Every structure is written in C-alpha cells, then in structure tokens.
C-alpha cells in the first residue's frame, strides 16, 4: 500500500532477511520495499524503491554497514537507518561507530527463528521502524497509513509512587482509573522549587540520536549531576556511555553499583538493571537492582524518577523525552509533586511522542521543550537560584 512505511532490509544472510521480512509483513503499517545482500546493492536499489527506513547489518561482504553509512553520508541520503547488531563487545563498539556515522538506532540481532527472545526483538524492531519510518514520511510530506504510531494508551490516571522500591512502583502502576479527556489537573506541589541539585532524564525510542545532540551542547561549567535511563539492551550501555563521553564536555559513564552522584558527572543506567538514587549520610549514590520490569522496562524511568523525588524532593529537575509507551510518565509527577521542576520534549521534535505525551496528559509536565533547545533549557533551569 502506498501509504505504508517501506523498509529496505540489508543483510548478507538469507535467513536473516527472511526473518526480518516476516516481522515486517506481520505488522500493519509496514511493508517490505526491497531486500539487499550488502551495502553496494542497497545503494543501487534506494533510488528505485525509495524506502522510508533501512534495516542494516554491519558485517557484510563487498560493502559492510560502516562503509555503507559513510557512502550514505557522502551522497546526502537522509533515510533513517536502524542497525542489526551482535551482542559481542566488538559488535557494541562497531554499533556505536555506526551511530556516530548517522545511524538512528539499533536492535540486538536475533539469533534465529527459534530464539527465545525473538518476540522481544520483533517488538523492539517494530517500535523503531514505526517511529523512525513514520517520522521520515511526515518530514518528507508523504502520506501515512492512518493509525497511532506512538501506541498511545487510553487516557488514564496513574497513582504516583513516592517509595523508591521498584516492587512498590510496579504495584502502583497496576492500579489505573479512568481520567477525563485532555491534560489532567497537575498534582499540587508540596513546596516551591529550590535550587536544582540533580537532573534525571528518561528516554527511549529516538534516544541515542537525541542524547548525542543534547549532551554535545551542554555547558562545560554545569555543576549538577545527571542520571539517565535510556532503554537499551545489556552489553551496549557501556560503549554507549563511552561514545557520549567523547562528545560531551562533562564526564559520561555507565553507572555501577555505589557510584557517587557528583557535579559534572553523567551516569547512564545499565541495560537490564533498574537504577535508583539513594542518599547516604555523606553522599548520594547509585543503586542497581534486578526487581521486575516496571512499565514494561528494566531499567525503568519510573523507578529512577521515584527515587530522585524521594532523595531530592524540590531540588530535582525531571526530563522526559522521545519514546514509545508510557515509562516515566507517572513518576515524573512524583518530582512535580515534591516541588521539583519537570519538562518534556515537544511533539514536533520527538521521534516518538509517546512517553512525553502521556506525561503531559497526566499533568506532570510543566513545560514542553524542542530538542534543539533542550540542552540550553536544562542548563538554564539547573543554574537558576530559587
């Protein structure tokens, strides 16, 4: 159908091309534009099939994924690319190189049709194809098959969890009541905002690109620690943090158990580990946990936001950015209610206006900010004396 998102699959494995193709064919709104066995053939097919998004393997004969991305950049091709990456350490390093060369995002490559995680891989891939492909079609002025590409849930009111226990948050999020249409009435703050002592960011689909842009633009003299939940599989967050550290004026590292929360440091949650902030007698530290998924994720932005609200109260700045679903939307309100400041990415600049939209509709976002102004707004708010 002309209004569907066309996907070009580039992989030298016939099995993988077939497997990815079946995932696409089974998803309303997606269609296979073409398949190619390496980067050279993909470049030849792009002008003819005009895809909306490319799924790209990295290890291929003749022209591999990195070489393709370099040529794509040279030719000025703007079609978004989602990388198929292996989980090995070398695979993570090459994946981060691919992101630096302009790839939008990545998924962990499935191991085959009998893989136990095949459904999770499918769901992740579909989310990214709908998000990036749908946004590209809109930017190009193409028609889009009617539907909600953010998978927006029904409007609900979710009780705010102020306990920093992931299990308690899971219970709270399971209790949902009907809400009125439109943005809900914001929670009543318990106190006025004070000077910001921590910044917490929750982000998902569209996050790698967005964080690269925001972190590169942060002020070098920003003396407020930043903690981040970016939904990402285990094995990749360490290399992701290293790639951000190379372009950010502040220190960026993957969070480890007991890491100090300190000025000038950005900590990225580990894949498959909840991250909470805990205040001790002498300092605030990071705690990593294996509690059940919250809002469908581990790490979860809801867990992080709840712990930040409890530890820092009205001295916190919560930021919710592009992402599918609703993670972080509920407990951004915990920061709001404690008297902290909350901002959300706006619809126009978000790859997927899902998480920030739900937060806004719950009344938990004080201000919506575009991606190109996000870094300056975060720095401005963090440096304001209140």
- Active centre residues (catalytic): 204, 231, 327
Q: Are 155 and 179 in contact (CB under 8 A)?
A: yes
Q: Are strands 226-230 and 251-254 parallel, antiparallel or unpaired?
A: unpaired
Q: What are phi and psi of 353, to 5 degrees?
A: -90, 65
Cα atoms in the 13 Å half-sphere on the side-chain side of 88: 7
Integer Cα distance of 53 and 58 in angstroms? 16
Question: What letter would DSSP give residue 170?
Answer: H
Integer Cα distance of 90 and 251 in angstroms? 23
Structure tokens, 377? 């707004």
- Cα end-to-end distance, the chain, whole Å: 55
Q: Are 68 and 10 in contact (CB under 8 A)?
A: yes
Q: What are phi and psi of 137, to 5 degrees?
A: -60, -40
Helix/strand/coil percentages in the chain, nearest 5? 35, 20, 45
Q: Are 350 and 371 in contact (CB under 8 A)?
A: yes
46: number of Cβ within 10 Å: 19
Burial of residue 214 (CB within 10 Å: 0-12, 13-18, 19+) is buried
DSSP lists the bridge partners of residue 265 as 251
Question: What letter would DSSP give residue 40?
Answer: H
């Amino acid at each position: 159908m002309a209004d569907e998102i066309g996907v070009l699959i580039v992989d030298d494995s016939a099995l993988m091309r077939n497997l990815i193709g079946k995932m696409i064919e089974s998803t309303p709104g997606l269609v296979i534009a073409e398949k190619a066995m390496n980067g050279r053939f993909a470049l030849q097919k792009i002008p003819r099939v005009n895809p909306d998004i490319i799924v790209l393997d990295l290890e291929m004969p003749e022209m591999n994924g990195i070489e393709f991305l370099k040529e794509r950049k040279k030719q000025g091709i703007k079609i978004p690319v989602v990388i198929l990456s292996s989980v090995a350490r070398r695979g993570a390093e090459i994946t981060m190189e691919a992101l630096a060369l302009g790839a939008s995002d990545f998924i962990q490559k499935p191991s085959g049709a009998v893989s136990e995680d095949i459904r999770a891989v499918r769901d992740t891939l579909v989310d990214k194809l709908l998000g990036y492909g749908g946004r590209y079609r809109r930017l190009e002025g193409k028609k889009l098959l009617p539907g909600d590409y953010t998978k927006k849930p029904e409007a609900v009111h979710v009780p705010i969890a102020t306990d920093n226990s992931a299990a308690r948050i899971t219970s709270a999020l399971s209790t949902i009541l009907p809400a009125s249409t439109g943005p809900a009435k914001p929670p009543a703050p318990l106190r006025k905002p004070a000077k910001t002592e921590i910044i917490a960011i929750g982000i998902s689909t569209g996050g790698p690109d967005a964080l690269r842009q925001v972190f590169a633009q942060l002020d070098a003299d920003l003396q407020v620690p930043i903690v981040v939940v970016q939904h990402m599989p285990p094995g990749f967050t360490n290399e992701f943090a290293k790639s951000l550290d190379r372009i950010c004026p502040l220190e960026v590292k993957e969070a480890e158990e007991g890491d100090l929360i300190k000025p000038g440091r950005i900590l990225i949650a580990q894949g498959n580990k909840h991250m909470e902030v805990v205040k001790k007698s002498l300092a605030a530290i990071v705690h990593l946990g294996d509690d059940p998924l919250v809002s469908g994720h581990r790490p979860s932005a809801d867990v992080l936001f709840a712990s930040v609200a409890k530890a820092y109260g009205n001295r916190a700045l919560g930021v919710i950015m592009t992402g599918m679903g609703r993670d972080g939307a509920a407990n951004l309100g915990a920061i709001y209610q404690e008297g902290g400041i909350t901002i959300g990415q706006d619809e126009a600049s978000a790859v997927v206006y899902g998480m920030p939209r739900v937060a806004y509709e719950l009344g938990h976002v004080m201000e919506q900010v575009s991606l190109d102004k996000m870094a300056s707004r975060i720095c401005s708010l963090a440096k304001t004396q209140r």
